[in-house]
Every structure is written in structure tokens, then in C-alpha cells.
Amino acid sequence: MDFLIEEFLRDGLGLERVADVFGWTLAAAFVINVALAVRIVWSKAARPNAALAWLATLFAFPILGCVLYIVIGENRIGAVRRRRHARIMRAVEQVEGGWKDPRVLGSSMSTVDTQMAHLGESSGAPQVLNGNLVQLTGDPAEQVRWITSDIDAAVRTADALFYIFETDETGRAVADALARAARRGVTVRLLVDGIGSRAFLRSPMRRELEAAGVKVVEALPATFLRILVARVDIRNHRKLVVVDGTTAQTGSRNVANPDFKASGRLGSGEPYIDSWIRIRGPVVRELQILFLEDWGLEAGLGQHVEVPLHPEIQPGGIPAQVIPSGPNFENNVVLDLIQAAIQLSRNEIVLSTPYFIPDSATIAGLEVAARRGVRVTLIVPRANDSALAALASRVNYARLLDAGVELWEHRRGFLHSKTVSVDDELAIVTTANLDRRSYEINFETSVVVYDDAFATEMRRLQQSYIADSDRIDPGAWARRGATARFAENLANLVSPLL
């Protein structure tokens, strides 16, 4: 570096002022990097792989590493949002008026279910509530029909929260339903992520909705000034519809045509494949509260704190639990939930995810489960809309295959469904991927359904994924070329930063 400054810039090119500025910049970057290194060691002790990756980045690329860490190194959502979230949580607690009906609070669950439920509650999630009717579909047309029909049936409120809201045919169908509801006097609120729905937020469709009376708010705006106070790539990755506080829908589906990324890395024959649930019953109230918390973070709750209704108990309903997560909750509940499901499985666990970049503990858990005789099945897409994520996902395949894990690559479309089923006993429908971004960075929603019949239905949906998948042969995988292995290992080096 001294040679570059003295011999090349100063003596060779005669750029003395440039050499001075460059030298002072490097010196300042070094001092800042040392301070950041101390902070990394202090704050990331629980994640040594991430700490080492960041330290290597800082000192291999002094200026770029410093900028990267300041921008995306920590889960800062901003002091204003943290204070606002604390006020919202206090307000919700004061007006909570929780359930007291023993039919809602009392449910007969197995030991495994009880332990999973306790894990969620100890992490700050709402308690398990009984008396819910839960429907599941993997049909994209039916998913849109459910959303639009419930909005069309709204009498008081229609709330929607989506990471991606496109202006295509699906977006038009949902937007028209929201506009119709607003015109007939329903309070309609639409919260969309600032990055995932950037095009919609700048589109005529947004203006049409607002003209019809729909309140449209951008979640986590990504601006240059925001970089100074918050991490700009923290996103609200939830997908949620709540109507009249009595019906809710969630899952992996965005408001977009299944082939909305056909012009990118995914070809025209690679549409998104999603899972979606529709819920009626007490647990809808918890999803309504979750929406209000997110809405309040961006728009404020105003003078009056809205008290969600207590939905009616559904005859023959089943127990379910809402598991919210995000940087404002300051917990690893999604990671804990997945690892607990793996550890508590006795016969079989099936997981589907579009992005598989787990931590070492999750990999070890899957290996141990397979070696102790549990049938472990992991379904991932063959085509992926992220080249880096696809490479990083595959680096752990050899370990899992060697342990006896069944690995299936879905060959028809982009499998975007994020599901877990355990022993035909419980099922998890979530917006979270099996990666660090979902564990620690994004706002996500998970619903755990503690019911054998629903778990069996989930297993049937997962079996339909397997029917359109090819099982990875351990021998063939071991014979892969050196170039593929090197690319995967290279991608794995930055996986702690993804």
C-alpha cells in the first residue's frame, strides 16, 4: 500500500494531493475498521462464523468492508421505530383483553405439541388457541379467489400486508377487490414493503386505490438517508390478509402472477409454487394484532388504540399458534422453532423451502435426526431466482446425503412454498425461508397448527411436490465436477453474511 501511495501516485504520476487524500482515507478506514472489529467481536459472539466472515471482509477490503458493515452488518431498524414498537406493545398489553374462555385456552395436545407451544410462548409469541378452522391450498387460482372473495365479503375492515404487490392480473384482481370494499364504506388498509413493492408504490394502481379510499402505506422505505440510521435491507416479508377480524389468510404467496419473474433467471416454464392457508377462529385475533403492530410502526396508531374483536369459536375447530418474528422482537424464534421441530420429530419430518442456507446447528440437527432413524426429507427448487443462494444451498448437500437425508430437487417451477410437517402430528406454514435472513433480519409470520388431520393434509401437499421432483443420488452428487464444488464453496464463504 505504501508503494502504491509513494511510488505510483506521488512519484510516478505526481498526484501528491491524491496520494495524501488516499493515504488519509486508508488510515481513517483502518481506525474505523479496528473499532468495528471490536464491536463485531462483542456483538456477534453467539455467531462466530458470521463474526469471522465480517472480520475477514473488513481487513481484506478496508474501505468497502467498512461501508458494507455500516449498511448491512447489524439489524438496526432505527431508534424511532424501536421506540414506536415499544409504545405499540405497551398499548396492546393495556387493551389486550385476552381470552378467558376455557374452550379456547384448553386443548388436548401431545407432549411434542405441548413442548413446541411452550417454546413459542417463552419466546414472546401468543399462546395456543383452540377452536380454529384452517384450510390449506396449493392452487394459485384458488389462493387468489380466497383473497378476493374474503375482501368482497368485508363489512367493517379489510387489512392486507404483502412483501410483493405487482400490477399484473393478480394485482389488478386484488386491487379491484380492495377498491370495491373501500367504496362501500369498509376501512381498507394496505401495507406493502418498500423494496418488494417498489414498482407498485410508484404506479397508477396505487393512486387509483388511494382515490377509492384505500389507505396505502409503504413499509420500511429504502432511502439513502435511512442508511445512516437503519439497515436498509431489513424487509417486511410477511404475507397477510385479515378481514373483519374474523378471517385471516397467510402463507408464501405474494400478490403477483405465478410467472411474474419469468423474464429473469426463471424461465417461462418456471412459475412460483406457493402454499396458502385460510383461518377462521380465535387465532385470527393474533394475526390482526400483528397487522396493527406493523401498521403502527409505519403509520402510527393515532390517539385511539384499536381493540380487535374476539372471533367466534368454530365448531370442530383445532388448536393453532401465531409465531411472529422480526428484528424488533430481538429473538431467534424462527430458528428455534425449526430446530425444535427437527429435534422433537420421532418418525418423519418433511421440509420445503426455496432458499436453504441454514446455520451449522440446523445442519447438525438434520444429520442427527436422520442418523437416529427419523425419515428426514428436504424439498428444494432446482431452478432458483438467486444464483448465489442456489450455490450456497448446495454446499451442505453432501453432509446431509451421507447422513441419510432424502434430498429432492423440484423440477417444475420455482418451489417457493415454506412448510414443515412433523410425524403427521403438527404442521408449520410460514413466510420464512431456511436461511439467516429469515431467522434474524426480515419480519416474518409463522402459524403452527397442532392437528393430525391438518398435518396429514400438509403431508399430501408436500408429497405432490415430491412427485414433481428428482431425488438427488448420493453417488452422482459425489461425482460432481471440481468447478461446481469450488463455486459452491466460494458462495458458502459469504453465506454467514447473506
Query: Is residue 254 pLDDT above 90, yes or no?
Result: yes
Which positions are catalytic?
A: 237, 239, 244, 416, 418, 423
Q: How confident is the model at residue 146 (pLDDT cuts 50, 70, 90)?
A: very high
Pick the range with the lowest mean pLDDT from 85-94, 191-200, 373-382, 428-437.
85-94
Residue 487 parent element (H or E): helix 482-493
Q: Which residue has the higher pLDDT, 59 or 216?
A: 216
Q: How many CB atoms lie within 10 A of CB 74?
A: 16
Query: Is residue 27 pLDDT above 80, yes or no?
Result: no
Closest residue by Cα to residue 239 from 289, 192, 194: 192
pLDDT of 139 reads 97
Are 174 and 255 in contact by the 8 Å Cβ rule? The answer is: yes
Closest residue by Cα to residue 332 from 128, 123, 496: 123
pLDDT of 140 reads 96
CATH topology of domain 79-107+128-318: Endonuclease; Chain A (3.30.870)
Q: Which residue has the higher pLDDT, 158 or 498?
A: 158
Pick the range with the lowest mean pLDDT from 76-90, 368-382, 419-433.
76-90
The CA-atom distances, in angstroms, between 136 and each of 129, 181, 247, 449 are 18, 25, 14, 11
Instruction: Locate the domains of the chain by residue range.
Output: 2-72, 79-107+128-318, 333-497
Average pLDDT (147-174) is 97
Give the whole-angstrom CA distance, residue 355 versus residue 380: 7
Q: How confident is the model at residue 244 (pLDDT cuts 50, 70, 90)?
A: very high
Average pLDDT (197-226) is 91
Closest residue by Cα to residue 404 from 380, 370, 433: 370
pTM, to two decimals: 0.85
Please tell me if the domain spanning 79-107+128-318 has the same topology as the one spanning 333-497.
yes
The class that CATH gives domain 333-497 is alpha beta
